[in-house]
A and B are shown apart, each in its own frame.
Chain A
Amino acid sequence: MSGILMPKPDAATLSRRDEIVADMRIIVPGEGVVDAVNEMRAFESDGLTAYRQLPMVVVLPETVAQVSRLLKYCNERNIRVVPRGSGTSLSGGALPLEDAVLLVMSRFNRIIEIDYPNRVVVAQPGVTNLGITTAVEQDGFYYAPDPSSQIACSIGGNVAENSGGVHCLKYGLTANNVLGIEMVLMNGEVVRLGGKHLEAEGYDLLGVMTGSEGLLGVVTEVAVRILKKPETARALLIGFPTSEEGGQCVADIIGAGIIPGGMEMMDRPAIHAAEDFVHAGYPLDVEALLIVELDGPGVEVDHLIGLVEAIAYKNGATTCRMSQSEQERLTFWAGRKAAFPAVGRISPDYYCMDGTIPRKELPRVLAGMRELSGQYRLGVANVFHAGDGNLHPLILYDANVPGDLEKAEAFGADILRLCVKVGGVLTGEHGVGVEKRDLMPEMFNEIDLDQQMRVKCAFDPNHLLNPGKVFPQLRRCAELGRMHVHRGQMAFPDIPRF
């Protein structure tokens, strides 16, 4: 494993492993407990494959009651728990701990209710993202957030990571499409937040849970809104001689009041890798390629495509192709959607970053990346959710070359620092996990981080749920609760008052 320090395994827990496994078999009878090393191998890492660790035991519960009993059991005995959905996290969110129960939610795989009058689907958390759309598409509906991993990733994992996709600019992230959840707290209590109605009552705990990376509670049910499939969708494939022109085109499209269904950009290395892989017909003589998708009623799409085309040429586009059929539209996307595996073909390994920047900073950040690429002597290919400024630099390296992984990680960290420096953030959709954990102080000071940890204390005061993720340094809740007040003095005694 690379240089990240995980919480020290608890010797007392490890020494009681056999007893704990036996108790797990009582809580989850049948096939749901896995403790053989060879069978646990499948769970030793998630999508961030550079990090591996066998858990103490893997448990796959089937009912909410089992989850509740398991968490209560672990809470009372000070045993750590790592929740896992499908294990596609790119930030190591589901990375096991040596002394922890890995709680795998994949058997929660049923759609519970499809409610068309209210346009809501209620699903168990192990249902895949695509599984929700599949359940309603014959009736012309779909679930909008569409991470590239949608055939595999679970809706529970999506909630935990607040996942996005290429259609988020127009249709929002997971947080904007989830109406309610049921979850189990570390003490075993089952809590419902929201429901089929549009707004949860009281504090927005649903908002806090979304994107909390499995540290606050285990999601056992999810209600999402579904949308009517747009009548038509067409895409434009636009090439530019420079990324500046591509970036300006994006700004002008938005400036014209147009919010496309999807707006993605790729740089030269990514274009070439994708074209070699899927033969999507991408132009190879451009520095930046923009895919702009417009969806809605046919008349609207026709109207907007005309506007976008004009904006593209005004900004120096050298090619601009319009999809003439559904088949061709999908081909345009095929290259973008396969960008990760395509890059995987040109390099033994790649490391995917996920910073977000204010869009106008794109040229500066790309230039910075080129410079860093030279310094580290590692290649980088860029795919980019252009509409919302979310970058996915793919750093090319070879894990078999000693020191290459460390170099790639250092390069990645420098890219993220650059993102923060220009007003952006460390992660747009992949989460902090273990990967970006130690970079958190680049964005937050100690007070900011302490307040986030206090939120954790309200949910899990013993830091037993997914510890070692998100926060660079765990502080005990009792210590966090302490207040340092200076009675009677006021820094600004002359604040206006009456």
Chain B
Amino acid sequence: MTTFTPTSAAEVLSAVQWATADETPLEILGHGSKRGIGRPLQTEHTLDLSGLSGVTLYEPAELVVSAKAGTPLVEIEQLLAENGQQLAFEPMDYGPLLGGETGKGTLGGVLAANLAGPRRLKAGAARDHILGIHAVSGRGEAFKSGGRVVKNVTGYDLSKAMAGSWGTLAVLTDVTFKVLPSAETETTLAIRGLLDDSAAAAMAMAMGSSGEVSSAAHLPERMAARVLDGKLGGDPATLLRVEGFGPSVAYRVAHLSDLLGNAGPIEEIAGEASKTLWRDVRDVRPFADGTDKPVWRVSMPPADAHHMVLALRMQAAADAFYDWQGGLVWLRMEGEPEAELLRALIRKFGGGHATLVRAAPAWRAAIPVFEPQPAALAALSARLKAEFDPKNILNPGRMVHSSDSATVAGVSEGATP
């Protein structure tokens, strides 16, 4: 058992080259804050990138920040905040849900897990903000892609290929993200007492209006009590976030209140409380219960999601809440994960996919954590993996069972000299 803790890109390269030559798998780690996501790994050695840290470029006027991959996300967020800027995609913090500390995680991990938040429909995810990368492939070669400018179509976008690859294609050493100004102010409207279907209708109305809602979520009965330290009370809360310049926010809040006045009683939550509320939604506070009860992250078109949840509940005990502008339903199962049931229902109600983000290791080893793909797509993904990591040494088996991917890989591989 060796843990490598490189402090430079050259050392990362050297470690990967060694592992490639020895055909020894490595677990690739930032802070390890999302280690519990994916199939459990059984690697002998670990490549810990937390020592590869530091901002290398920050030019607020150019809306760009570059940092070594192991730089703590909180450090970046703090630096940006000092300049009135932010990562607009609001990368979520899995710490609370997975029973770890809050505020952990590295910038490289943000991209590798393609993190996002409740502003997703409007602002996108990490994939939409990544401008460039330096990385070491499983071949033991250092390569780069992209650059430091916002508009760039020079060559394939390998930076996006890293998004959501969970360290299985290459080890990131440097990442460059686009940054944006933070909103001057924000207010949240909470419509109380709605059932899931009326909440979906209200949300569709709000999001199709010129109220420019940046986040929308629905916390059904009991879920609402688990955010904002319980200050919201237990009644269902349908939340709409309005962000921007003061006069604009005031106008849009009035517009939305008018539009939705008949839906139910509306409360206004302003400033810091609004921010905390959305952080709690983002970080799945309602299910941050210290247990390892299975939690699913379901990405599906928002309008029909509650039908899927209703159908699921006919057959299994589950709690649910909706982060619509993140395009997500979060589910906590009382008993077993019920993967097949859930995935069949998602297909039935408009399509999408489910990731088992929390479950005991035995479950994660036994059922596919990430959505199984149709044969042609699975084969294509396996070929892509093999083109980056032909010896399967980077986080092997974390996304799909290794033997599954190896058999369909058919990689363009020659003999090792």
Contact = CB atoms under 8 A, between A and B. Distances in A.
Interface of A: 115-120, 161-162, 164, 168-169, 172-173, 175-176, 185, 189-193, 195-199, 201-205, 207-208, 210-212, 225, 228-231, 251, 254-255, 257-259, 296-300, 302-304, 356-360, 385, 388-390, 423-432, 436, 440, 443-444, 447-452, 454-459, 461, 470, 477-492, 495-498
Interface string B280-321: 000000000000000000011111000000000000000000
A302 B248 CA distance: 10
B155 A432 contact: yes
A299 B6 contact: no
B158 interface: yes
Given A251-B61, A257-B182, A196 B154 contact: no
B121 A204 contact: no
Interface residues of B, number: 115
Nearest to A486: B21
B6 A495 contact: yes
B248 A452 contact: no
Given A303-B248, A495-B14, A485 B381 contact: no
B152 to A, nearest CB: 5
Contact of B212 (A257, A297, A436): A297
A444 B155 contact: yes
B18 A490 contact: yes
A192 B380 CA distance: 11
Nearest to B7: A496
B281 to A, nearest CB: 15
B380 A458 contact: yes
8 A-B pairs closest in CB distance: A207-B160, A198-B327, A300-B248, A257-B181, A477-B412, A117-B303, A428-B151, A481-B412
A189 B379 CA distance: 11
Nearest to A190: B376
A355 to B, nearest CB: 9
Interface stretch (B90-98, B100-108, B330-338, B347-355): B347-355
A487 B247 CA distance: 65
Contact of A254 (B61, B145, B386): B61
A225 B416 CA distance: 46
B210 interface: yes
Contacts of B2: 497-498
Given A185-B380, A358-B59, A485-B17, A176 B164 contact: no
B387 interface: yes
Contacts of A431: 153
B370 interface: yes
B73 interface: no
Nearest to B150: A388
Contacts of A385: 151
A356 B161 contact: no
Contact of A296 (B153, B164, B212): B212
Nearest to B12: A495
Nearest to B351: A195
Given A299-B251, A425-B154, A448 B145 contact: yes
Contact of B155 (A388, A440, A484): A440
A217 B279 CA distance: 39
Interface string B39-54: 0000000000001000
A419 B386 CA distance: 34
Nearest to A211: B153
B148 interface: yes
B68 interface: no
A456 B161 CA distance: 13
B235 interface: no
A488 B21 CA distance: 7
B208 interface: yes
A299 B4 contact: no
Contacts of B180: 259
B20 interface: yes
26 contacts: A117-B204, A118-B302, A191-B376, A197-B300, A197-B350, A203-B169, A208-B161, A210-B157, A257-B182, A296-B244, A297-B252, A303-B246, A303-B248, A357-B149, A390-B151, A426-B154, A427-B153, A429-B151, A440-B154, A452-B156, A482-B417, A483-B413, A485-B416, A490-B17, A490-B18, A495-B4
Contacts of B161: 203-205, 207-208, 455
- Which of A117, A304, A429 has the most chain B CB atoms closer than 10 A to its own CB? A117
Contacts of A390: 149, 151
A448 B163 contact: no
B127 interface: yes
A205 B381 contact: yes
Nearest to A301: B248
A302 B245 CA distance: 11
Contacts of B51: 496
A458 B139 CA distance: 15
Contacts of B303: 115, 117-118
A82 B114 CA distance: 33
A191 B153 contact: no
A230 B63 CA distance: 24
Given A173-B151, A228-B212, 14 more contacts: A172-B124, A175-B128, A190-B376, A196-B350, A202-B371, A296-B244, A297-B251, A298-B251, A300-B251, A359-B61, A423-B148, A444-B155, A483-B390, A496-B7
Contacts of A208: 156-158, 160-161
Interface string B375-417: 0110011011111101100000001000000000001111111
Contact of B14 (A225, A470, A490): A490
Given A300-B248, A389-B149, A447 B3 contact: no
B124 A495 contact: no
A169 to B, nearest CB: 8
B151 A356 contact: yes
Contacts of A195: 301, 351-352
Contact of B208 (A116, A190, A251, A456): A116
B194 to A, nearest CB: 16
Contacts of A359: 61-62
A360 B62 contact: yes
A140 to B, nearest CB: 8
A424 B146 CA distance: 10
A491 B22 contact: no
A458 B248 contact: no
A299 B157 CA distance: 39
Contacts of A119: 207-208
B272 interface: no
B222 interface: no
B52 to A, nearest CB: 11
Given A201-B299, A202-B370, A492-B14, A211 B59 contact: no
B17 A491 contact: yes
Nearest to B205: A117
Contacts of B411: 481
A447 B141 contact: yes
A447 B150 contact: no
Contacts of B14: 490-492, 495
B351 A196 contact: yes
A360 B300 CA distance: 41
A228 B61 CA distance: 29
Contacts of B22: 487-488
Given A211-B156, A300-B245, A389-B149, A199 B125 contact: yes
Given A201-B373, A448-B144, A481-B412, A356 B157 contact: no
